[in-house]
C-alpha cells in the first residue's frame, strides 16, 4: 500500500512523527437577547476591551520570555488594533441600529478583516487574521468564556488546523506540540515564524480541505524539510523516517553540545571563538551557533543603505540592540570601513585609480571627523553596561592611531560636558590588515589594547594581488608563507607587549588554518557564525603540543601548495 502524501509549504525544518490533533476553534455562539441602550452596550464593550488589553499584555510578556521580543511584538500590534478608532466607530454604528455589542463586534471585525483579506500583498492580507483574532478575543470575553484555545491538547501531538492565529500559537505548549500543519498561511505568517524560533517542524499553506483529509488520533509523519504530510504511514515508511529523524537529531545534538561549551584545546586551554556579524539579526544566529562574543561587528551596512549618514540615535539603537542580544559577551565594533569601491553618495569620493590603496576606512574617518565622532558617540553611549570594544580598520602607522584616539578622547570630553551617560573605559584596538601594521605591532602596542588580524586584506596587500582580477587571483593565498610569517610576527609581538591578538578574517574559520593559528598562540578566532560549531569541535581535538609542532613544521615549508598539502594530511589523520 502506498502512503497518502499531502504537500504544502515547508515553513520550519524538522521531522515530526506522531498522532494527529485536529484543531477546530470553538464557534462562539451568541445567545439571543435584546440589546440594551447604546450607552449600556458600549460600556460593556469598554469593559471587555480593557480585559482583552490585560490578556494581551500578559501574552506579550509570556511570549517575550519564551521566544523573544520580536515574536511577542504581534501582541503589541493586537493591542493597537483593539483600540483602533475605526473599529470602535464601526461597532458604535451597528449598536446604534439596535444590535447587541456582540453582534456589532462580529460585524465590524468581519467588515475590516475583509478589507485586509482582499489585499494583493501577502503581508498585508495576513493582517486580516489579526483583526479576526482580536475580535474573537473580545467576543469570548463578552460571553464570559475562558481563554482555552489549544489547551485541549494533552498528549504530544501534531496539530492540524485551518489556520493558527497568534493567540492560538501562543497557547501551544511546545512540549506537547510535535509539529503543526495548516491549510492557510505563508512563510511570513506569525505561526511559521514562531515555529522556526521554537524549532517546531511546520508546514503551512496546505490548501483548503486539509481538515477533511485528516482525522484526529490517526498517525502521521510531518516533514518540515520538504513540506510533506504522510497520512497513516506503513511500518516501513515510519521506520525510515524514525531513522532520518534520529540521525538528524544526533548530529544537531553533537553540534549543539559543542556550541554550548567554551572552546578549549584538548589540554584544556581556552581560546575564544567569536562571530563576525554585519547586522542585528545575525547576532541572534551567532548566539545560536555558540559564539562567545562578536569579534567583528561590521558597521558598513549602516552607511551604505541610505542617501545620508546614519544619525547618532539610529546607530545607538542598533548597537544597543546587538549588545543586548549578546548579553554581556564582548562585542568588537569596527568603525566605518568603506572605500571608493563602494562609495556612499554623501561622501565626496575622488576618482581613484586604486580604491583599495586609496581613501578608505580610517583614512576617511580622520578626514571626516564629524562622521567619525557621531559613530564614536553612538558606540560609547550604547556601551554602558556592556562589554564593548572599539576597533579601527586599516591603520598603517602610529600617527594615524594617535589621531584616531585623540578624536575618541574629544568625543568622551564632549559627552561629559553634555552630561550624557557613556562607557568611559571601552578598550580600543586595531585591525592588522596592512603589512605596515603587522611589522609595527610592537610600536602600535603603545596605543592599542588589542590586535585583530584581517586576513583578506592582509593577504591582498602582502601579496600585492587583487583577488577580483582573474589573471592574478591565483596569488591570493592566505596560507602563503609570507602571510603566515606576518601573522606569526603579529601574535609574537602583541604577546611580548602583553596584548591579546585575535583574527577576524576568513582564515580564522578555516579548518586547514585553525591548527596552525593555535600553534602560533592566537587568542581569539572570529568567523562566520555557521563555522563556529565545526571550529570548536576541531579545537577540542588538538593539544597545544600538537599544534606547536604543526606550526613549526608549516613555518619550514616554502610554498602555499606545500602547506596546503601538509595540512590536508594533518586533518585526515585527526
Partner 1 sequence: MAEATIPVKHKVGLHARPAALFVQTAAKFSSRIKVKNLTANGNFVDAKSIIMVLTLGVMKDHQVVIQTEGADAQAALEALQALIENNFGEA
- Which residues are annotated as catalytic? 190, 504
Quick one: which of 92, 248, 269, 317 contacts partner 1 (CB under 8 A)?
317
Contact range with partner 1 by CB under 8 A, out of 26-34, 297-305, 371-379, 558-566:
297-305
The yes or no reply on residue 81 touching partner 1 (CB under 8 A) is: yes
551-to-68, 288, 344, 481, 548 alpha-carbon distances in Å: 44, 31, 42, 11, 5
The yes or no reply on residue 443 touching partner 1 (CB under 8 A) is: no
The yes or no reply on residue 85 touching partner 1 (CB under 8 A) is: yes
Grid cell at residue 419: 552630561
For residues 111 and 466, which CB has a smaller minimum distance to partner 1 in the complex? 111
Task: State the nearest-atom distance from the C-beta of 75 to partner 1, in Å.
Answer: 12
Task: Look at residues 494, 505, 508, 363 and name the one whose alpha carbon lies nearest to residue 429.
Answer: 494
Give, for 160, the enclosing helix (H) or strand (E).
Answer: strand 157-161
Contact range with partner 1 by CB under 8 A, out of 15-23, 38-46, 77-85, 335-343:
77-85
Task: Look at residues 337, 217, 231, 191 and name the one whose alpha carbon lies nearest to residue 6.
Answer: 231
Report d(CA 525, CA 504) in Å as an integer.
Answer: 6
Kindly give the pairing relationship between strand 450-453 and strand 428-432. Answer: parallel
Task: State the nearest-atom distance from the C-beta of 303 to partner 1, in Å.
Answer: 10
Sorted by sequence, the CB contacts under 8 Å of residue 249 that are 6+ apart come out as: none
Grid cell at residue 51: 480585559
Name residues contacting partner 1, limited to 205-234 (CB under 8 A).
none
For residues 115 and 264, which CB has a smaller minimum distance to partner 1 in the complex? 115
Quick one: which of 17, 56, 67, 87 contacts partner 1 (CB under 8 A)?
87
For residues 52 and 271, which CB has a smaller minimum distance to partner 1 in the complex? 52
CB under 8 Å, gap of 24 or more: what pairs does 27-35 form?
A: 28/136, 28/139, 28/140, 28/143, 28/145, 30/100, 30/102, 30/103, 30/106, 30/139, 30/143, 31/143, 33/100, 34/100, 35/95, 35/98, 35/99, 35/100, 35/101
Task: State the nearest-atom distance from the C-beta of 155 to partner 1, in Å.
Answer: 36
CB under 8 Å, gap of 24 or more: what pairs does 237-245 form?
A: 237/3, 238/17, 241/15, 241/17, 242/17, 244/15, 245/15, 245/17
Quick one: which of 110, 116, 366, 443 contacts partner 1 (CB under 8 A)?
116
The yes or no reply on residue 67 touching partner 1 (CB under 8 A) is: no
Residue whose C-alpha cell reads 450607552 in the numeric block: 39
Report d(CA 572, CA 561) in Å as an integer.
Answer: 17
21-to-15, 65, 182, 231, 242 alpha-carbon distances in Å: 16, 26, 12, 13, 20
Kindly give the pairing relationship between strand 9-12 and strand 202-204. Answer: antiparallel
Task: State the nearest-atom distance from the C-beta of 281 to partner 1, in Å.
Answer: 12
Task: Look at residues 274, 268, 316 and name the one whose alpha carbon lies nearest to residue 291.
Answer: 274
CB 515 within 8 A of CB 541: no
Contact range with partner 1 by CB under 8 A, out of 50-58, 80-88, 379-387, 509-517:
80-88
Task: State the nearest-atom distance from the C-beta of 89 to partner 1, in Å.
Answer: 9
For residues 155 and 313, which CB has a smaller minimum distance to partner 1 in the complex? 313
DSSP state of 30: P
The yes or no reply on residue 110 touching partner 1 (CB under 8 A) is: no
Name residues contacting partner 1, limited to 118-177 (CB under 8 A).
119-121, 123-124, 127, 131
Quick one: which of 40, 173, 234, 313 contacts partner 1 (CB under 8 A)?
313
Contact range with partner 1 by CB under 8 A, out of 17-25, 73-81, 329-337, 559-567:
73-81
Contact range with partner 1 by CB under 8 A, out of 58-66, 313-321, 362-370, 399-407:
313-321
Residue whose C-alpha cell reads 435584546 in the numeric block: 34
Residue whose C-alpha cell reads 581569539 in the numeric block: 524
The yes or no reply on residue 311 touching partner 1 (CB under 8 A) is: yes
Task: State the nearest-atom distance from the C-beta of 183 to partner 1, in Å.
Answer: 23
Task: State the nearest-atom distance from the C-beta of 400 to partner 1, in Å.
Answer: 30
Report d(CA 128, CA 133) in Å as an integer.
Answer: 9
How many residues sit in the footprint of partner 1 (CB under 8 A)? Answer: 29
The residues facing 429 across adjacent strands are 391, 450
Neighbours of 565 (CB within 10 A): 12
Grid cell at residue 509: 574559520
The yes or no reply on residue 345 touching partner 1 (CB under 8 A) is: no
Quick one: which of 302, 378, 401, 437 contacts partner 1 (CB under 8 A)?
302
Task: State the nearest-atom distance from the C-beta of 123 to partner 1, in Å.
Answer: 6
CB 355 within 8 A of CB 372: no
For residues 246 and 281, which CB has a smaller minimum distance to partner 1 in the complex? 281
For residues 87 and 463, which CB has a smaller minimum distance to partner 1 in the complex? 87
Quick one: which of 212, 305, 351, 370 contacts partner 1 (CB under 8 A)?
305
Contact range with partner 1 by CB under 8 A, out of 199-207, 253-261, 307-315, 530-538:
307-315
Task: State the nearest-atom distance from the C-beta of 84 to partner 1, in Å.
Answer: 5
Residue 89, φ and ψ in degrees, nearest 5: -70, -30
The yes or no reply on residue 112 touching partner 1 (CB under 8 A) is: yes
Task: State the nearest-atom distance from the C-beta of 341 to partner 1, in Å.
Answer: 21
Residues that bind partner 1 (CB under 8 A): 73, 76-77, 80-81, 84-87, 112, 115-116, 119-121, 123-124, 127, 131, 301-302, 305-306, 310-311, 313-314, 317-318
Amino acid at each position: 500500500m502506498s502512503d497518502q502524501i499531502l504537500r504544502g509549504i515547508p515553513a520550519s525544518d524538522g521531522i515530526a512523527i506522531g498522532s494527529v490533533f485536529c484543531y477546530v476553534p470553538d464557534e462562539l455562539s451568541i445567545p439571543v437577547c435584546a440589546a440594551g441602550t447604546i450607552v449600556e452596550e458600549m460600556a460593556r464593550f469598554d469593559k471587555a476591551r480593557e480585559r482583552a488589553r490585560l490578556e494581551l499584555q500578559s501574552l506579550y510578556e509570556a511570549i517575550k520570555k519564551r521566544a523573544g521580543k520580536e515574536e511577542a511584538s504581534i501582541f503589541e500590534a493586537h493591542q493597537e488594533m483593539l483600540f483602533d478608532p475605526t473599529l470602535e466607530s464601526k461597532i458604535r454604528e451597528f449598536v446604534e441600529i439596535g444590535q447587541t455589542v456582540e453582534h456589532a463586534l462580529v460585524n465590524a471585525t468581519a467588515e475590516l478583516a475583509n478589507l485586509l483579506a482582499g489585499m494583493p500583498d501577502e503581508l498585508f492580507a495576513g493582517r486580516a487574521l489579526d483583526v479576526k483574532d482580536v475580535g474573537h478575543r473580545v467576543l469570548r470575553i463578552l460571553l464570559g468564556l475562558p481563554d482555552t484555545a489549544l489547551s485541549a491538547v494533552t498528549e504530544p501531538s501534531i496539530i492540524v488546523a485551518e489556520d493558527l492565529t497568534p493567540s492560538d500559537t501562543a497557547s501551544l505548549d511546545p512540549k506537547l506540540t510535535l509539529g503543526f500543519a495548516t491549510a492557510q498561511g505563508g512563510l511570513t505568517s506569525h505561526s511559521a515564524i514562531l515555529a522556526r524560533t521554537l524549532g517546531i517542524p511546520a508546514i503551512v499553506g496546505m490548501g483548503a480541505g486539509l481538515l477533511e483529509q485528516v482525522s484526529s488520533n490517526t498517525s502521521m509523519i510531518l516533514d518540515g524539510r520538504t513540506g510533506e504530510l504522510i497520512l497513516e504511514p506503513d511500518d516501513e515508511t515510519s521506520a525510515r523516517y524514525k531513522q532520518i529523524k534520529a540521525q538528524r537529531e544526533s548530529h544537531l545534538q553533537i553540534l549543539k553540545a559543542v556550541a554550548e561549551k567554551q572552546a578549549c584545546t584538548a589540554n584544556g586551554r581556552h581560546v575564544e571563538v567569536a562571530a563576525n556579524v554585519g547586522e542585528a539579526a545575525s547576532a541572534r544566529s551567532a548566539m545560536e551557533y555558540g559564539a562567545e562574543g562578536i569579534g567583528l561587528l561590521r558597521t558598513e551596512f549602516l552607511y551604505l543603505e541610505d542617501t545620508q549618514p546614519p544619525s547618532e540615535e539610529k546607530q545607538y539603537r542598533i548597537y544597543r540592540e546587538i549588545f543586548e542580544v549578546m548579553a554581556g559577551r564582548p562585542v568588537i565594533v569596527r568603525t566605518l570601513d568603506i572605500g571608493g569601491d563602494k562609495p556612499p553618495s554623501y561622501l565626496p569620493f575622488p576618482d581613484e585609480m586604486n580604491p583599495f590603496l586609496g581613501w578608505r576606512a580610517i583614512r576617511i574617518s580622520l578626514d571626516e571627523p564629524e562622521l567619525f565622532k557621531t559613530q564614536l558617540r553612538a558606540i560609547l553611549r550604547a556601551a554602558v553596561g556592556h562589554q564593548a570594544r572599539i576597533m579601527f580598520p586599516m591603520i598603517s602607522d602610529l600617527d594615524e592611531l594617535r589621531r584616531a584616539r585623540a578624536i575618541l578622547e574629544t568625543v568622551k570630553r564632549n559627552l561629559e560636558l553634555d552630561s550624557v551617560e557613556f562607557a568611559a573605559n571601552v578598550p580600543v584596538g586595531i585591525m592588522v590588515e596592512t603589512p605596515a601594521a603587522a611589522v609595527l605591532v610592537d610600536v602600535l602596542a603603545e596605543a592599542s589594547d588589542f590586535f585583530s588580524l584581517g586576513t583578506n586584506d592582509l593577504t591582498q596587500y602582502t601579496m600585492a594581488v587583487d583577488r577580483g582580477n582573474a589573471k592574478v587571483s591565483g596569488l591570493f593565498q592566505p596560507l602563503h608563507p609570507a602571510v603566515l610569517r606576518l601573522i606569526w610576527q603579529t601574535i609574537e609581538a602583541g604577546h611580548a607587549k602583553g596584548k591579546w591578538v585575535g583574527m577576524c578574517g576568513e582564515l580564522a574559520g578555516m579548518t586547514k588554518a585553525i591548527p596552525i593559528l593555535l600553534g602560533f598562540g592566537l587568542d581569539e578566532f572570529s568567523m562566520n557564525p555557521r563555522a563556529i560549531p565545526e571550529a570548536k569541535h576541531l579545537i577540542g581535538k588538538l593539544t597545544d603540543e600538537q599544534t606547536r609542532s604543526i606550526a613549526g613544521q608549516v613555518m619550514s615549508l616554502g610554498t602555499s601548495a606545500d602547506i596546503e598539502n601538509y595540512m590536508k594530511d594533518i586533518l585526515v589523520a585527526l
